[in-house]
Amino acid sequence: MKYSITLVLVMAVAGMISSCRSTKKLQAALSIKDTQLVVKPPPQTIDSLRGASDVLKTLRKNAINFTTFSAKIKVDYEDQKGKNPDFIAFVRLYKDSVMWVSINAPLLSFEAFRILITKDTIIILNKLNKSVERHPFKYIRDIADIPLDFSVLQNIVIGNPIYVGDSIVSFRKTGNHVLIGTIGDFFKSLLMISSDNNVLESCKLDDIELGQNRTADLTYSSYEKDNGFYFATYREITVAEKTKVEIDLNFKQYEFNKELSFPFSIPRNYKKK
């Protein structure tokens, strides 16, 4: 069961964000009080905020639009207890409808889990102990402890930006990058965007609620251009609250807009949990 929960967690936090050391100086600009800059910025910052808005518009415009997606992903996972065995996840996705996941443990050389996720339900087949579990979609939200729906989940897998707020509180150009701080409904975000091709290289999320200490960092790298858009084939994730989790996703294969099937049958002898 540990592999299935790990992968669901990976999916739920994979776009939540990066350990870019060069962004640390800007984190102070992300406090709640800085929303004042959006309401009434000093005259000299108006052009900068307009420039930041244009960059975010381009980032959203360049988001990957797709019908189907499939991938083979090598997942490395480490928590406070140390590094866990890596595993391979095969993912199939039909936009706004269904996500199918098969988890293979390399040491076992066979499929250990199969997961089917829709907008309402998640079903987990545990082939190791021949059992099946059904949960409402909020099961994923409970595991990841973030506000999540199917649309956000699929954008995490694809690599599209998530939780980018509409209120811009900081903007800076440095070298070949643009750094933008925003505040949304749930998170303060700090984005690092490439000036060359307007792709997201990193983003850091922190809770807006003062009582929460959740923070997440993700870096996107090894971009490849496919059908006119850029896809990050390697991602590093760090999630921390009371404990720290580090996850690496290495996309070994991926395809967009190919015909897919989503085989999922429950053997009669499987126990229900």
d(CA 204, CA 30): 11
What is the total residue count of the chain? 273
What CA–CA distances, in Å, run from 189 to 1, 18, 169, 177? 32, 10, 10, 16
Q: CA 136 → CA 2, 18, 34, 94, 119, distances in Å?
A: 19, 30, 38, 19, 9
Q: Cα–Cα distances in Å, from 68 out to 20, 98, 261?
A: 31, 10, 10
Distance, C-alpha 61 to centroid of its chain: 18
Domain residues of the chain, as ranges? 2-258
For position 23, what pLDDT does the model report? 30
User: CB 205: neighbour CB atoms within 10 A?
Assistant: 28
Q: Which residue has the tokens 């996703």?
A: 249
Query: Using CA atoms, how far apart are residues 14 and 7, in angstroms rounded to an integer?
Result: 10
CA atoms within 13 A on the CB side of 217: 16
Q: How far apart are CA 72 and CA 91, in angstroms?
A: 7
Q: Which pTM value belongs to this model?
A: 0.79
Bin 145: left if φ > 0, else alpha if -120 < ψ < 50, else beta.
Answer: left
Sequential pLDDT tens for the chain (273 residues): 344 444 444 444 333 322 222 233 333 333 333 333 333 444 435 566 678 888 888 888 889 999 999 999 998 888 777 777 788 899 999 999 999 999 887 766 788 889 999 999 989 898 988 999 998 988 777 766 677 889 988 988 999 988 888 888 888 888 899 999 999 888 899 999 998 888 999 989 888 877 677 788 889 999 999 888 899 999 998 887 777 888 899 999 999 999 999 999 999 999 998
What pLDDT was estimated at residue 233?
Answer: 96
Token pair, residue 201, equals: 């290289």
| The pLDDT of residue 149 | 87
Q: How far is CA 235 from CA 5, 73, 124, 151, 203, in A?
A: 19, 11, 25, 20, 11
Q: What is the CATH topology of the domain spanning 2-258?
A: outer membrane lipoprotein receptor (LolB), chain A (2.50.20)
| CA quadruple 36, 38, 39, 42: dihedral, nearest 10 | 80
At residue 3, the pLDDT reads: 43
Report how far residue 5's alpha carbon sits from residue 58's, in angstroms, rounded to the nearest whole number.
Answer: 35
Are 211 and 88 spatial neighbours (Cβ–Cβ below 8 Å)?
A: no
